[in-house]
Copies of this chain bind each other. A is one copy, B any other.
Amino acid sequence: MAVASKTTARTDAARAFVDAHGHAEAPDFFSISDLSEEFAITHRAIRFYEAKGLLSPRRLNGARIYSRRDRARLHIIVRAKSLGYSLEETKDYLDLYGRQGEGRIKQLEVSVHKSAEMIAELEAKKRQIDEKIEELRLINRVCRQKIAQKRAKNTD
């Protein structure tokens, strides 16, 4: 049987392509398996994001080839998800991220405005997290006090 090489195997042409570019330490292209491993998500999820218009990797013989930029976008998607953003919201974000500095003045001004808005929203989220952390610190403290009390009185 074919002994799969240690490195992730790929559809042949795709593999050739990926290997051709990028030298060991800093690859320029990635397979779907590379990315699904790196970000601990399934192939299915990655294809789903593409179907929803959040990614659009080039194809080679049908197989998907992801550039560094695609990978960066996926990274953003994964992070945004863990922060509770929907794919729809993340898509808006990526639109901003994608056209970094392109377009006419009007568009650029919109981008400046939107990015400022998003920053404000994230700051608010940070404050909410701080509130939760405070609650948890209180719980932590109270529990430890109770433990100390019980230990002292030996009331188990």
Interface residues of A (CB under 8 A from B): 76, 79-85, 96-97, 100-101, 104-105, 108-109, 111-112, 115-116, 118-119, 122-123, 125-126, 128-133, 135-137, 139-140, 142-147, 150-151, 156
- What are 16 pairs between A and B in contact, CB < 8 Å? A76-B132, A79-B132, A83-B83, A83-B84, A101-B143, A104-B150, A104-B156, A105-B151, A109-B147, A111-B139, A112-B143, A112-B147, A115-B139, A119-B133, A123-B133, A126-B126
Q: Could you tell me if B156 and A108 are in contact, using CB atoms closer than 8 angstroms?
A: no
Give bound CA distance, A119 to B131, whole Å. 11
The residue in A83, A125, A129, A139 that gathers the most chain B C-beta atoms within 10 A of its C-beta is A139
Chain B residues near A96 (CB-CB < 8 A): 139
Q: Could you tell me if A83 and B128 are in contact, using CB atoms closer than 8 angstroms?
A: yes
Q: Is the interface of A mostly helix, strand, loop or mixed?
A: helix
Known contacts: A143-B108, A147-B112. The answer to whether A85 contacts B84 by CB under 8 A is yes
Q: Could you tell me if B105 and A156 are in contact, using CB atoms closer than 8 angstroms?
A: yes
Closest 5 CB pairs of A and B: A84-B84, A115-B140, A101-B146, A111-B143, A101-B142
A146 shortest CB reach to chain B, Å:
4
A85 shortest CB reach to chain B, Å:
7
Give bound CA distance, A135 to B115, whole Å. 9
Q: Could you tell me if B140 and A105 are in contact, using CB atoms closer than 8 angstroms?
A: no
